[in-house]
Amino acid sequence: MTLEERLLADMKEAMKAREAGKTRLAVIRMARAALKNAEIAKGHKLSDPEIIAVLAHEVKERQDSIPEFARGGREDLVAKLEEEIRILKAYLPAQLSEDEIRGLARETIAQVHALGPRDLGKVMGALMPKTKGRADGRLVNRIVRELLEQQ
């Protein structure tokens, strides 16, 4: 079952659940709309990796909004966004731990023969495709900077 088929099946299930699946239904509909927009923009049917990238972008947008709502005292919206993130993350691959990212970063640093912080771009360019959809780019960047500064 492809990711798109799974979203459709889960949407039908949420519709049948009525009130209990109301939030889940809204999030899945929003995700499907984002996927449709991406499909139109790219001009072809999205593959699973492309779907994962779109869903990861949706999660990131919500994560970036949480601090703003928290600063504004909108705990109701913070809770809503956290629930949406939880629902969306169910469709994403398991996230890499910091230790796994460090291991991948060390391998990549050795592969590209990085000598210090000035090689950050070279390392990130080679590393990000390996972590695509499975790690937050800011976390990866922070870890790579730490490792390069130690050299």
Instruction: Give the pLDDT confidence of 5-15 residue by residue, as tens digits.
Output: 999 999 999 99
* pLDDT of the residue at 129: 87
Q: Enter the tokens of residue 32.
A: 């499907």
Nearest Cα to Cα of residue 59 among 100, 89, 20, 35: 89
Mutual orientation of helices 120-131 and 98-112 as an angle, nearest 10°?
130
- Give the CA count within 13 Å in the CB-facing half-sphere of 47: 1
Nearest Cα to Cα of residue 28 among 1, 5, 50: 5
SS3 state of residue 78: helix
Q: Is the pTM of this model over 0.85?
A: no
> Structural domain boundaries of the chain?
3-89, 98-149
Instruction: Give the pLDDT confidence of 26-74 residue by residue, as tens digits.
Output: 999 999 999 999 999 999 999 888 898 899 899 989 999 999 999 999 9
The verdict on domain 98-149 having CATH code 1.10.10.410 is yes
- Which of the four CATH numbers 2.60.40.1220, 1.10.1510.10, 3.40.50.620, 1.10.540.10 does domain 3-89 have? 1.10.1510.10
